[in-house]
Amino acid sequence: MFEHKRRAGALTALAVGVALLATGCAVDSGSEGGSDGGSGDSANLAITFLPKNLGNPYFDTSSTGAKEAIDEFGGTFAEVGPAEATPDAQVSYINTLTQQGVGAIAVSANDPEAICDALNEARDANVKVVTFDSDTNADCRDVFINQADAEGIAKVQVDLVADQIGGAGEIAILSASANATNQNAWIEMMEEYLASDYPDITLVETVYGDDDDQTSFDKTAALLQTHPELKGIISPTTVGISAAARYLSTSDYKGKVALTGLGTPNQMREYVEDGTVTAFALWNPADLGYLAAYASKALIEGDITGAEGDSFEAGKLGDYEVGADGVVLLGDPFEFNADNIGDFDF
Amino acid sequence: MTAPAIERSAATKRLRSVGAAREFGILLALVLVVLAATIANPNFLFSADGWRDLLLTPAILVLVAIGQAIVIITRNVDLSVGSILGLSAYLTGRLFVDLQGIPIIVVFVIAVGFGALLGLVNGALVAFAKVPAMVITLGTLYAYRGINVLWTGSDRINASDLPKSFLALGTGQILYIPILTIIALVVLIAAAWFMKNTRGGREFYAIGSDPAAAELYGLRVTRRLLIAFALSGALSGLAGVLYAARYGTISSQAGAGWELDAVGAAVIGGVAITGGVGSVWGAAIGAVLLLTINRALPILGIPDFWQRAVVGALIIGAIVLDRVLAVRAKRRLIEAREEDR
């Protein structure tokens, strides 16, 4: 019964999606002349943010940063987006923005492929396209604002744990699943960085919690029991770090074994406040939105074109350079601790 | 029952002892696992954390396994328990977030009632549509999880959203026994008593042994099935509340895959997948064994990659051993019957 309903729902959604696509294209092809009007002046600083979905605290934070930046340079900020983060949900919004002739669209792509055609039509109409947080294919946008690179993510976590355990002792890693591509790449870099910069720290074991609360719990317990000398745990996955923190917070090891890794402030607030966790890392979505806004401005004003080596200025964040494939790197991940966690809600 | 009291023959007595032996075997395996882990690392049993984890970790699965055992005993299966658990856990979180200051006991009642309702949907589909429970509950496994994903989206309930007193329930202890374990034990004793001593409980066995005969005999099969699935749903709902209390983090994937653990626990504990045989005690011990093995293997130094394979081998081993014992017992039973003649 439910299955039927769901299938019917999916069919309806598909039909609506197709209809939207069809009408979107039809209207578009007829209005090529009109869309030039908006960008006739030297700088049309109307920048619209199109997150994956609305009502998502992560993107609420990035939009706050974007609005701050746009207010600084006197542009017009707007935000539109679908309620659901489905692959083709953003297409109709992009088409509408193209017709409105905005200066730039900053989009976090739900799908690298599905919105490509719509974005390229927008670019043909002289709308600049910036992707942030989640990229499309490189030929569908002008620049991509990358929140963090693997090296920076690996380095910040090792630095944090080294700082918390005093630069020497045994540590372990609680990862996601054994075949998680991102985590494995980070762990490999962490091992290299540990070997080169922290010879006194020994990585005794890497265990896999499968991004499952129960498994992560049990693996944390086993780590603590098997390695009585353990001084720190790194968990480069949001599920793992919160499960490990929950376990630690009610165990004898609270405050004795350091825990750090990648987590979100809402998830970790409880454990930072009760002293289980001193500091953890993740990028700051507000900075991400801020930088995306300044990149949009630079594109609109013609300071950059998205070519490698272009550079632009981004307010309080300083100067940035466009790297290979039009990627701009936000910088090192942001460190959350007891002093600043109250400022974030995502 | 109107049938004349049957004199307890030697055969019946042996049948009883066989049932007890199945549970005893599993209990023995559990003791061996704990012993081995403790020898390898005394902290497994003799540290405050180790003792607590030993009792606390299986508590939630025990509840789900009890419900599963009742359903399997009626010759059905409930694959939707993990999804019901997940939905109830998220409901629990939402209640605390949306209705600030709601009493904890009210949350328990709502979540258990909600679980029972979802279970009742399963029961109704199985009992009235006469479709095998495996197919129906496979459908609701996905349907309930789909509703959960739709409702939760990328959102998540965090520990800081839940009241401290509720979270304390998840790890608190009374006289060195975790509260969750006490809840599970109370439910277990009640369920075991119900299954052993009440007419309703015995009718579950009767239906599972031979559904057609049960129907012909005039048992209210439809009603019993509804109750069995509602019980399983209610226990999953209760498990959902406890899940929220223990883990403090609830995403749309909470409880995913638990159905297999629950069925595995019941089967390891001697509940025959063909119905009519087994006890909730067995299922509960099976649940404890399953999770304790999971926790013991890393401590015994078995590499991560091998642990799953070892768990699988142990499950197969337990079932083969069980089967061997059952076949041998059956042979003895037949011999005893011959002697009686």
B87-129 confidence digits (pLDDT tens):
999 999 999 999 988 999 999 999 999 999 999 999 999 999 8
Tell me the percentage of chain A whose pLDDT exceeds 70: 88
For chain B, which residues lie within 8 Å of any Cβ of chain A, measuring from their own Cβ? 41, 43-44, 47-50, 53, 57, 125, 139-140, 142-144, 146-147, 153-154, 156, 158-160, 171, 247-249, 251, 254, 256-257, 291, 294-295, 298-299, 301, 304-305
Predicted confidence at residue A20, as pLDDT, reads: 45
Helix (H) or strand (E) run with residue B173 in it? strand B173-174
Predicted confidence at residue A3, as pLDDT, reads: 43
Predicted confidence at residue B304, as pLDDT, reads: 67
SS3 B248: coil
> Would you call A225 and B47 a contact, using CB atoms and an 8 Å cutoff?
yes
pLDDT grade, residue A5 (50/70/90)?
Answer: very low
> Would you call A246 and B247 a contact, using CB atoms and an 8 Å cutoff?
yes
* Distant-in-sequence, close-in-space partners of B180: CB < 8 Å, separation ≥ 6: B56, B59, B60, B169, B170, B242, B245, B246
Predicted confidence at residue B275, as pLDDT, reads: 84
Report residue A57: phi and psi, to 5°: -55, -35
d(CA B303, CA A262): 25
SS3 content of chain B, % helix, strand, coil (to 5): 80, 0, 20
- Is a pLDDT exceeding 80 seen at residue A56? no
Q: Does residue B5 lie in a domain region?
A: no
d(CA A44, CA A76): 9
pLDDT grade, residue A328 (50/70/90)?
Answer: very high
Helix (H) or strand (E) run with residue B127 in it? helix B104-129
Q: Tell me the mean pLDDT in the region B141-155.
A: 87
d(CA A228, CA A225): 6
> Would you call B50 and A85 a contact, using CB atoms and an 8 Å cutoff?
no
How many CB atoms are closer than 10 A to CB A164?
A: 18
- Is a pLDDT exceeding 50 seen at residue B18? yes
Taking the CA of residue A258 and the nearest CA in chain B, the distance in Å comes to: 17
> Would you call A225 and B49 a contact, using CB atoms and an 8 Å cutoff?
yes
Instruction: Give A292-307 pLDDT, tens digit per residue.
Output: 999 999 999 999 998 8
pLDDT grade, residue B7 (50/70/90)?
Answer: low
Taking the CA of residue A150 and the nearest CA in chain B, the distance in Å comes to: 23
d(CA B327, CA B333): 10
* Residue in the structure block whose two tokens are 């809600």: A345
Chain A CB contacts of B49 under 8 Å are: 221, 224-225, 251-253
Q: Does residue B2 lie in a domain region?
A: no
Among A56, A218, A242, beta carbon nearest to B57: A218
CATH number at residue B324: 1.10.3470
- Is a pLDDT exceeding 70 seen at residue B83? yes
All structural domains of chain A, each given as residue ranges with its CATH number in brackets, are 2-148+285-332 (3.40.50.2300), 150-282 (3.40.50.2300)
pLDDT grade, residue A25 (50/70/90)?
Answer: very low
B177-178 and B173-174 strand pairing: antiparallel
Mean per-residue pLDDT of chain B: 87
Cα angle A233, A147, A206; round to 5: 20
Q: Does residue B153 lie in a domain region?
A: yes
Longest distance between any two alpha carbons in chain B, whole Å: 70
Q: Does residue B266 lie in a domain region?
A: yes
Please give the residue of chain A at the shortest CA–CA distance from B124: A1
Taking the CA of residue B295 and the nearest CA in chain A, the distance in Å comes to: 6
Taking the CA of residue A29 and the nearest CA in chain B, the distance in Å comes to: 35
Residues A98 and A27: beta-carbon distance below 8 Å? no
Domain count, chain B: 1
Q: Looking at chain A from residue 222 to 261, which residues have their Cβ under 8 Å from any Cβ of chain B?
A: 222-226, 228, 239, 242-243, 246, 250-253
* Distant-in-sequence, close-in-space partners of A2: CB < 8 Å, separation ≥ 6: B139, B140, B143, B144, B146, B147
Instruction: Give B244-287 pLDDT, tens digit per residue.
Output: 999 888 888 888 889 999 998 998 888 888 888 889 999 999 99
Please give the C-alpha separations between residue A319 and each of A292, A294, A295, A298, A314, in angstroms, as whole numbers. Answer: 13, 10, 11, 12, 6
> Would you call B139 and A3 a contact, using CB atoms and an 8 Å cutoff?
yes
- Is a pLDDT exceeding 80 seen at residue B325? no
**Strand partners of residue B90:** none
Q: Which residues of B282-299 are buried (b: 16+ CB within 10 A; e: fewer)?
A: bbbbbbbbbbbbbbbbbb
Residues A55 and A278: beta-carbon distance below 8 Å? no
Q: Does residue B173 lie in a domain region?
A: yes
Mean per-residue pLDDT of chain A: 85
Host domain of residue B68: 10-340
> Would you call B49 and A270 a contact, using CB atoms and an 8 Å cutoff?
no
> Would you call B154 and A56 a contact, using CB atoms and an 8 Å cutoff?
yes
Q: Tell me the mean pLDDT in the region B9-36.
A: 73
- Among A29-33, A35-39, B88-92, top mean pLDDT goes to B88-92
> Would you call B49 and A222 a contact, using CB atoms and an 8 Å cutoff?
no
Predicted confidence at residue A292, as pLDDT, reads: 95
Q: How many CB pairs under 8 A join A and B?
A: 95
> Is A87 or B225 the better-scoring residue by pLDDT?
B225
- Is a pLDDT exceeding 60 seen at residue A141? yes
Predicted confidence at residue A34, as pLDDT, reads: 36
Lowest mean pLDDT among A81-85, B57-61, B223-227: A81-85
Taking the CA of residue A99 and the nearest CA in chain B, the distance in Å comes to: 31
Interface test with B, best of A227, A267, A268 (most B CBs within 10 A): A267
Predicted confidence at residue A36, as pLDDT, reads: 38
Q: Tell me the mean pLDDT in the region B175-189.
A: 94
What is the reported pTM? 0.77
Predicted confidence at residue B3, as pLDDT, reads: 47
Q: Tell me the mean pLDDT in the region A278-303.
A: 93
Residue B340 CA neighbour count, 13 Å, CB half: 14
Tell me the percentage of chain B whose pLDDT exceeds 90: 53
Chain A CB contacts of B249 under 8 Å are: 213, 239, 242-243, 246, 267
> Would you call B249 and A2 a contact, using CB atoms and an 8 Å cutoff?
no
Taking the CA of residue B332 and the nearest CA in chain A, the distance in Å comes to: 42
Task: Look up residue A193 and give its amino acid.
Answer: Y
**B139 burial via Cβ count (<10 Å: 0-12, 13-18, 19+):** buried
Chain B CB contacts of A178 under 8 Å are: 304-305
Q: Does residue B141 lie in a domain region?
A: yes
Per residue, the 3-state secondary structure of chain A, as one string, reads CHHHHHHHHHHHHHHHHHHHHHHHHHHHHHCHHHHCHHHCCCCCCEEEEECCCCCCHHHHHHHHHHHHHHHHHCCEEEECCCCCCCCCCCHHHHHHHHHHCCCEEEECCCCCCCCHHHHHHHHHCCCEEEEECCCCCHHHCCEEEECCCHHHHHHHHHHHHHHHHCCCEEEEEEECCCCCHHHHHHHHHHHHHHHHHCCCEEEEEEEECCCCHHHHHHHHHHHHHHCCCEEEEEECCHHHHHHHHHHHHCCCCCCCCEEEEECCHHHHHHHHHCCCCCEEEECCHHHHHHHHHHHHHHHHCCCCCCCCCCEEECHHHCEEECCHHHEEECCCCEEEECCCHHHCCC
d(CA A170, CA B283): 40
